Structure 1
Amino acid sequence: MKNPRAADRFCHATGLVLVLSGLLHLVVFAVDGGPWDGPVSWRKPVTFGLSFGLTLLAITWVTSYLRIDPRLRSALLLVFAADCVAEVGGITLQAWRRVPSHLNMQTPFDTAVSMTLAAGGGVLVVLLMVFAVASFRHRPQGPADMPLAVRSGFAILLVALASGAAMIARGVVLTRTGHQEAAYHSTAPLKPLHGVSLHAVLVLPALAWLLSRSPWTDQTRRRIVATAVGCYAAAVAGAGVWAVLTYR
């Protein structure tokens, strides 16, 4: 897509479809029942659909403030959108098959799905790191408090990427060494850290955008955003301490 706006519209539509997929599976869970926790549950297509959908919507919006070549941004966003669909699709497929989606090496097909999801996670890390570097390389555009919100959001997002990579790496090692059940439970300590830090890139810029519509001065808005960044960082630190204390 040569038109950046067309790429944005495509990503917005894709993000909304993923969010709707998560909500649909919440209805499926309400009807079908079953456990909410564990490697096989309707929780995974619900949470991953909502999370990936919101993340795609957030990244599409937030990157519009970055000083980056429009054609490069569009190409990266389209790859990001395709990867989000692949991740949610693989997780949803395995949920309907009633087998674990991640770290599942029981059959050749399950192994292929699991490795595809892991590879897709690697692609997500690379793409988001490119956007994060761009946010720090050149001051983002927008209201006076937006650069701090965008840069802080991407910085905290890197924590989510690191914790996600750590979960996959540890789980794969346990699986390869014959500790399949331990692999499924090994991700629990890092899940709060991953979840909390994942959406800072949406929450903080959204706060800055809302404040830009207020009558407050630039200095006041910057102080509010700085306070919000501090609070968010404290929440991430708390989740990190929890991960350390519960790590086995």
Structure 2
Amino acid sequence: MNLFAQEKGLALTGLFGFLLAGICAVWVVLYGGEVAPRGNVANAFSFDAALGVFLLSTAAIAPFSAMSAKGRVFFRWSYIILALYCYFAENVQNFRGVNPRFVKGAAPFDVTVGSIFTFVALLLVLCYLFLAVHYFRSKAYTAHPVLVTGIRYAMIAVLISFAAGIWISFNGGRTVGLHGNLIWLHGLGFHAIQAMPAVAWLVSRKTPSAQTRGNLVHIAGTTYILGLVSIGWQTYLGGSVQEWSLFPVIACCCFAVSLAAGAYAFFDKIRDSKGVRREWFG
């Protein structure tokens, strides 16, 4: 738990999401996902798990923001409170048979919960933007140059995901045109918060020059962002990301390069570790 020692509150809130996801999973297995008239416990399951992973990932990287103590407290408790409301709205409403995001013909209570949910989602974006800005300041970069470089790319990707979430809200759903689906852009962007810091952490532990290590992080980060942009444009055109057309192919190639950079860093780390052990034991 040393990884989360400085952000135990955020980490525990993330673990709470896994607990809720487990409860929802059991319900879906026993009774199915859909709850009349418009609820779906399977949606609550995926939301709880995704938010849990996101909070745990944020808790792991937050200490590297070089944010002031007061700033950390503000961000921490703002996000915990907002996340708890999201858990409440997503789970209670779906179990009651209400879609918490798009409330139609519902009781005043349901309309109120949905309206607050929309406002809370906007606050989540603004608070995360407050965190993201700190990684682009020299203080954070000077302390951990390689790791913060990776986190910077992750922040850009997360903000793209938030933009996709706002797009979903204004669009009235995830579908765009005939085959476009915003959930791909929304979901893949958030996974950068695990992928990019992991690549940066792997190469920051190596002995080569800082420039060489930084180049690998830039390759992984740049191609990941370009992959997201390609998916976003394909979705804007109303096309499926699973069809073999120009932008899905570009996205596939970009993600492949980003994955290859991460794999190279991982296996190079393993080779280095074996070399150190051989040297240690003679």
The equivalences for 1:193-232 within 5 A come to 193-232=185-224
Q: Give the structure-1-normalised TM-score.
A: 0.82
Q: Is the 8 A contact 1:67 1:138 kept in 2?
A: no
Q: Once the 2 structures are TM-superposed, how far is the Cα of residue 152 of structure 1 from its aligned partner?
A: 1.0
Partner of 2:247: none
Determine if the alignment matches structure 1 residue 25 to structure 2 residue 24: yes
Instruction: State the partner residue of 1:58.
Output: 57
* Aligned twin of 2:161: 160
1:90 maps onto 2:124 in alignment = no
Q: What's 1:108 paired with?
A: 108
| Cα contact 2:39–2:96 (8 A) shared by 1 | no
Contact 1:39 1:184 in 2 (8 A): no
Bigger mean CA offset, 49-58 vs 5-14: 5-14
Instruction: Give the stretch that moved more between structures: 42-51 or 139-148.
Output: 139-148
| Equivalent AA in structure 2 for residue 191 of structure 1 | I
Please report how far the alpha carbon of residue 200 of structure 1 lies from its aligned counterpart in structure 2 after TM superposition: 1.5
Structure 2: how far apart are the matches of 1:199 and 1:121? 18
Change (3 A) 1:221 1:243: same
What amino acid is aligned across from residue 210 of structure 1 in structure 2? Answer: L
Show the counterpart of 2:71. 72
CA distance 1:21–1:66, change in 2 (3 Å): same
Larger Rg: 2
- 1:155-197 CA-to-partner distances (Å, cap 9, x unmatched) read 11111111111221232xxxxxxxxxxx585697321111111
Contact 1:160–1:197 (Cα < 8 Å) also in 2: yes
Residue of structure 1 in register with 2:80 after alignment = 81
* Identity within the alignment, %: 23
Using the TM superposition, give the Cα deviation of residue 33 of structure 1 relative to its aligned residue in structure 2, in angstroms: 2.1
Give the CA RMSD over aligned residues: 2.7
Of residues 112-121 and 139-148 in structure 1, the stretch that sits farther from structure 2 once superposed is: 139-148
State the SS of the aligned residue for 1:103: coil
Give the structure 2 partner of residue 242 of structure 1: 234
Return the letter of the residue paired with 1:91: E
Per-residue deviation, 1:206: 2.3
Unaligned runs of 5+ in 2: 240-282
Report the secondary structure of 1:145's partner residue: helix
Contact in 2 for aligned 1:18/1:85 (Cα 8 Å): no
Between 61-70 and 222-231, the greater mean CA deviation after superposition: 222-231
Q: Is the 8 A contact 2:38 2:97 kept in 1?
A: no
CA–CA distance in structure 2, aligned partners of residues 20 and 14 of structure 1: 10
Alignment partner of 1:140: what SS? helix
Partners of 1:22 and 1:46 within 8 A in 2: yes
Secondary structure of the 1:246 match is coil
Instruction: Return the alpha-carbon distance in structure 2 between the equivalents of residues 25 and 234 of structure 1.
Output: 35
Corresponding residue pairs, total: 231
The answer to whether the 8 A contact 1:66-1:138 is kept is: no
Question: For 1:33-44, what aligned pairs fall within 5 Å after superposition?
Answer: 33-34=32-33, 40-44=39-43
2 CA distance for matches of 1:39 and 1:233? 35
For 2:159, give the aligned amino acid: L
CA contact (8 A) 2:153 2:225 kept: no
Deviations 1:96-140 (A, max 9, x none): 112211110422111011111101101101101111222213352
